[in-house]
Amino acid sequence: MKAVDYTKVEAEEVNVEGAKNATIRWLISQKDNAPNFALRMFDVQPGGFTPYHSHDWEHEVFVLEGSGMLITEKEEIPFGKYGVIYVDPNMKHQFRNTEDTVLRFLCIVPHQKTAKKNKKNKTMNPFAGGLVNNC
Amino acid sequence: MKAVDYTKVEAEEVNVEGAKNATIRWLISQKDNAPNFALRMFDVQPGGFTPYHSHDWEHEVFVLEGSGMLITEKEEIPFGKYGVIYVDPNMKHQFRNTEDTVLRFLCIVPHQKTAKKNKKNKTMNPFAGGLVNNC
């Protein structure tokens, strides 16, 4: 288990091509023995952005602070604090800060591709389908 | 894909035994075609708590507002805004609001148990291990 303030997790520069003025914190990852997915925090400074790209895994995003624009192949969607964004696998996307304050958001990614055989499996977690509400 | 403010997702009462004064919003779930995990928001009112229990999947938690106490078999850990909590599978846990304001946190759960065979698989997502920082 792990219980820390986010400031205890080091912010690293997002140093890939197509990114500008962005940092990432791996809040929970495989290093913590998390078996399925990683929780990361991004800070994008004014004028900054993540790369415009696609990949075969999804993003689940929650906006903590600031405002920005989600760029996709089909549209540009503004978002703000407490915005919820789901990006499908293989969808082109970019997160841009459009304001003069920091844009901070959480982004969750799976560790692995979804195994095809799992698609036919029943849901093992009775809470996952929203049938039982719990934590 | 999905891009909405969290207020567009209905808050439902957490109506299981052992819970008190708590609601859940399924921000991103299987209903949105998310393939691997669900992002939920909990609001726990003053005096409220989630059930003290365990199950065979993990929680990845991020605290948005308020303060509380994480109860486990071994210890009680206070947490506050922007706290990061990872609860291992099969670990007993409870989230209690210890203040007189709302406790709000995100809690991410997998849709399915981790397939044992996946443990030997290589990580397909090069970003998951923290080797490449990106979104």
* Mean local confidence (pLDDT), B90-103: 98
- Put simply, whether A2 touches B (Cβ < 8 Å) is yes
Among A7, A8, A135, the strongest candidate for a mutation testing the B interface, having the largest count of B CBs within 10 A, is A135
| Residue B90 DSSP symbol | T
Is residue A79 domain-resident? yes
Residue type, A20: K
Q: Which tokens sit at B54?
A: 């365990």
Comparing A77-91, B37-51, B60-74, B114-128, which segment has the lowest mean pLDDT? B114-128
Is residue A77 domain-resident? yes
| Residue A7 DSSP symbol | G
Q: B74 exposed, middle or buried (CB, 10 Å; 0-12, 13-18, 19+)? A: exposed
Percent pLDDT > 70 in chain B is: 84
Among B75, B97, B133, the strongest candidate for a mutation testing the A interface, having the largest count of A CBs within 10 A, is B133
Query: Cβ of B3 and A84 within 8 Å?
Result: yes
Is residue B122 domain-resident? no
Alpha helices in chain A (DSSP H): none
Nearest to B50 by CA among B82, B95, B105: B95
* Mean local confidence (pLDDT), A71-75: 96
Query: Cβ of A37 and B86 within 8 Å?
Result: no
CA distance B84 to A38: 12
Output the domain CATH number for residue B102.
2.60.120.10
What contacts A34, CB < 8 A, 6 or more positions away? Answer: A28, A111, B58, B60, B86
In this prediction, residue A122 carries a pLDDT of 45
- Residue B120 — very low, low, confident or very high, per pLDDT cuts 50/70/90? very low
Size of interface A-B (CB pairs under 8 A): 232
Is residue B88 domain-resident? yes
* Mean local confidence (pLDDT), B45-68: 97
Strands B12-13 and B59-65: unpaired
In this prediction, residue B132 carries a pLDDT of 55
Is residue A18 domain-resident? yes
- Residue B135 — very low, low, confident or very high, per pLDDT cuts 50/70/90? confident
CA distance B128 to chain A (A): 5
The whole domain housing B109 covers 12-117
Is residue B36 domain-resident? yes
Task: Evaluate if residue B128 carries a pLDDT over 60.
Answer: no
Compute the mean pLDDT over every residue in chain B, rounded to the nearest whole number.
89
* Mean local confidence (pLDDT), B46-59: 96
Task: Evaluate if residue B118 carries a pLDDT over 60.
Answer: no
* Mean local confidence (pLDDT), A12-30: 95
Question: What ipTM was reported for this prediction?
Answer: 0.89
- Cβ neighbours around B63 below 10 Å, total: 24
- Cβ neighbours around A117 below 10 Å, total: 9
- Put simply, whether B57 touches A (Cβ < 8 Å) is yes
The predicted-structure confidence for A93-134, as pLDDT tens digits, reads as follows: 999 999 999 999 999 999 986 655 444 444 455 555 455 567
In this prediction, residue B121 carries a pLDDT of 44
Interface of A with B in 15-54 (CB under 8 A): 15-16, 19, 22, 24, 26-40, 42, 50-51, 53
For chain A, what is the domain count? 1
* Mean local confidence (pLDDT), B47-76: 97
Interface of A with B in 102-121 (CB under 8 A): 106-115, 118, 121
Is residue B69 domain-resident? yes
In this prediction, residue B122 carries a pLDDT of 45
Nearest to B89 by CA among B60, B118, B115, B55: B55
Is residue A122 domain-resident? no
CA distance B133 to A16: 7
Task: Evaluate if residue A31 carries a pLDDT over 90.
Answer: yes
Q: Which residues of B are less than 8 Å from A13 in CB distance?
A: 133
Nearest to A27 by CA among A127, A109, A134, A128: A109
Percent pLDDT > 90 in chain A is: 81
- Residue A135 — very low, low, confident or very high, per pLDDT cuts 50/70/90? confident
More confident residue, B116 or B76: B76
In this prediction, residue B112 carries a pLDDT of 81
Nearest CA in chain A to B32: A86
CA torsion through residues A7, B61, A39, A91, sign: negative
More confident residue, B112 or A2: A2
Nearest to B62 by CA among A88, A21, A37: A37
